[in-house]
Structure 1
Amino acid sequence: MRYIIRVKGHLDPFWQEWFEHLSITHESGGITRLSGPIPDRAALYGILLKMCDLGLTLLSLEAHEAAEAPE
């Protein structure tokens, strides 16, 4: 499953490894988008707990089915 998580503020790219190597992108309006595959719910909850530990404000969480490779 691929996820897009948006948080308030611009998160330093230094944190990318700590967040399971999710891509960190700064958006306008002081928003950071973290995106990429997360293998299961346990990993997702772990990432959300890390965000909580950093005091980040969660703005949105989107889940998308991974695109299947054409045969």
Structure 2
Amino acid sequence: MVIVTDCPKMKNFSQGELSTPRLEHMHLTRDEDGELQWEGDLYTTIKHMFDQMNMQNSQAIEVTDQLLQLE
């Protein structure tokens, strides 16, 4: 079992090659749809998950900045 939570500053999950031949999917508990997501391998799946989180966070920051400019 691999559990990754609350790592907003993580740049790399692993420096070396990962081998998880029996791992078929991950359950992303932060996904609002509760869907299973698998990007082909563990490293790519975790990278995709954090890229999505960073994109959502940057959009929230942009909206906050725009609201502050309106005041």
Per the normalisation by structure 1, the TM-score is 0.32
Instruction: Return the structure number with greater relative CO, CA threshold 8 A, min gap 6.
Output: 1
Identify the structure with the greater strand proportion: 1
Identify the structure with the greater helix proportion: 2
Per the normalisation by structure 2, the TM-score is 0.32
Q: Which has the larger radius of gyration?
A: 2
